[in-house]
Amino acid sequence: MIFYELYLRSFYDSNDDGLGDFLGLKNKLDYLCNLGIDYVWLLPIMKSPAFHGYTVSDFYEVNPVYGTLEHLKNTLKEGHEKGLKFVLDLPINHVAVSSEWFQKALKGEEPYKNWFIWANEKADLDEIRHWDDSKIWQKIGDKYFYGIFGPASPDLNFENPELWNEIKKIFKFWLETGFDGFRLDAAKHIFDFDIEEMHFKYQHEKNVEFWKEMTKYIKSIKEDAIVISEVWDAPEIVRKYEGIFDIGFNFPIAEDLKMTLKKESPSEFNKTLIKCIPEYLPDGKVLSKSGNFLTNHDMTRILSDLKDEEKVKLGFSILYTLPGVPFIYYGEETGMKGIPKDVNFTEDSQEPFHWYENGFGPGQTEWKGYKFNPPYSGESVEEQKKDKNSILNTVKSLISFRKNNLWLENAKVEILNFDENVVELRGYDQLHEIIAYYNLKSSISSFFLQNGQELLSIGNNYIENNVISLAPFGVHIIKKK
């Protein structure tokens, strides 16, 4: 499985209003198919006052800037006919202030007033969340509501069973609309507040029970629906949720792999595998597949982070040769740049996708100015297609390699060797075996190759008499004979 995270507003515009939309996606399904994508993960497309869509005002309506529900259904239907599947990003732990649910709750209407958490005499109105100095209590009129993600996002109170039933209706609605699964935003935040003591507290056991019931329900509606969780935390926390979801995002490997590339350190690479994907090491056991990625919509784009196209290619090469499920964020395949201010201000990592080198043309979205990706910056599809060594063509080659070796998704891995320059990685199952060589340094490394058939070579690598000169940040993969 190859996943593509897509921000619709920035992708392709079908009606010349400067905003990407459902029919624009329909017009560009072939681009995704030619890239080799299997699943399109759509960031929230429900009705929302926010550009990013993560504060939902109506879970049963599409955002009108993207078109109509019929436009969406037609797009999903045509995508299915082309072999694509679609995953919907559903942020259910909070709503928008403009949500009918919250507006009725403010008026004291049943059952909505009990669907939110309101401050009482026990509440410390100055309590801040643990990752920054933002307050968790938000004032509106003469009331204070709990909003861990800020004043635009009233948190829902899942202590109420009727709310669980409402969430099930939402899942059912979107599955019947044509989606093939869900990406579950902020999965550890369903129960993150102690209602008795009135303070912030992760309650992972309650979260686990909630998601067990929801995933069981989702699969009762659509047996092959795929469910992906976002638990952004340390490995020991992430593992509390293993086995509930089909795929769990592996934030630790994303962060550690990028740091390894920055340090150009084979020893750090070895530590990263042991720490972040132990379930794929020889004695490990996979409960939920590892969702492997380099960046997403909340993070600095990979080229802005690594500042070196060859390192970016190496990062993708590692991603597509490791077990688990690879994800790519739209525009990373063409080398888009972007540095969000923080997780509350992510516009700068969600700039318009460039189809044309001059930045303008039919279907080009223009909802935001080009702060990080100006015209003639070389990261358009038009320009990248011309260069066989471009990031785009490298990613296409890697996806093609991956799809020719589908067994890698469930493979075991082990580090055979590493020195100050090169990592030698073995991937295998009962029927297959490959050896991957990664040069983590900015200088050429020469060594004897094991006997085998060449499957993939990234970089200006040179082989003579079974000795390879591996290019700086180059990759060479062989199939063992």
User: Could you list the pLDDT tens digit for every one of the 481 residues in the chain?
Assistant: 999 999 999 999 999 999 999 999 999 999 999 999 999 999 999 999 988 989 999 999 999 999 999 999 999 999 999 999 999 999 999 999 999 999 999 999 989 999 999 999 998 899 898 888 889 999 998 899 999 998 999 999 999 999 999 999 999 999 999 999 999 988 889 988 888 888 888 888 899 999 999 999 999 999 999 999 988 777 788 888 888 999 988 988 999 999 999 999 988 998 999 988 999 999 888 888 999 999 999 899 999 999 999 999 999 999 999 999 999 999 999 999 999 987 777 888 999 999 999 999 999 999 988 899 999 999 999 999 999 999 999 999 999 999 999 999 999 999 888 888 899 999 999 999 999 999 999 999 888 888 888 899 999 999 988 889 999 999 999 998 7
**CA angle, residues 184, 355, 54, in degrees to nearest 5:** 20
Dist CA 242 CA 226 (whole Å): 15
- CA–CA separation, 434 and 428 (whole Å): 6
What are the distances in angstroms from CA 354 to CA 2, 155, 202, 449?
A: 22, 36, 40, 40
- Beta-carbon contacts of residue 317 (< 8 Å; ≥ 6 apart): 394, 398, 438, 456, 458, 475
Pairwise CA distance, residues 52 & 367, whole Å: 12
What are the CA-CA distances from residue 32 to residues 36, 108, 215 (Å)?
6, 47, 28
Local structure of residue 389 (DSSP, 8 states)? T
**CB-based contact 66:17 (threshold 8 Å):** no
3-state class (DSSP) for residue 184: strand
Going by the DSSP 8-state scheme, the letter that residue 116 receives in this structure is: B
Task: Give CA angle at 276 (232, 278), nearest 5°.
Answer: 130
479's enclosing H/E stretch is strand 475-480
Residues 250, 289: contact at Cβ < 8 Å?
Answer: no
**For residue 34, what are the contacts with CB-CB under 8 A and spacing of at least 6?**
396
Residue of 472, 413, 478, 404 whose CA lies nearest to 440: 472
pLDDT value of residue 420: 85
Q: Of 192, 230, 310, 348, which is the active-site residue?
A: 230
Catalytic residue among 38, 58, 61, 185: 185
- Is 464 annotated as catalytic? no
**Which fold is adopted by the domain 411-480?**
Immunoglobulin-like (2.60.40)
Q: What spatial distance separates the first Cα and last Cα of the chain, rounded to whole Å?
A: 26
Q: In CATH terms, is domain 3-97+159-404 a member of 3.40.50.300? A: no
Q: Give the whole-angstrom CA distance, residue 391 versus residue 459.
A: 11
Q: What is the dihedral of CA 434, 440, 442, 445, to 10 degrees?
A: -50
Instruction: Say whether 185 is catalytic.
Output: yes
pLDDT for 216:
96
The residue extents of the domains of the chain are 3-97+159-404, 100-146, 411-480
pLDDT at residue 198 in the model: 85
Q: Cα angle at 79 between 74 and 85, to 5 degrees?
A: 120
363 CA to centre of own chain = 25
Close Cβ partners of 8 (under 8 Å, ≥ 6 residues apart): 20, 21, 22, 24, 25, 42, 43, 45, 66
Q: Is the C-alpha dihedral spanning 102, 103, 105, 110 positive or negative? A: negative
The span from the CA of 420 to the CA of 108, in Å, is 65
Q: Which amino acid is at 266?
A: P
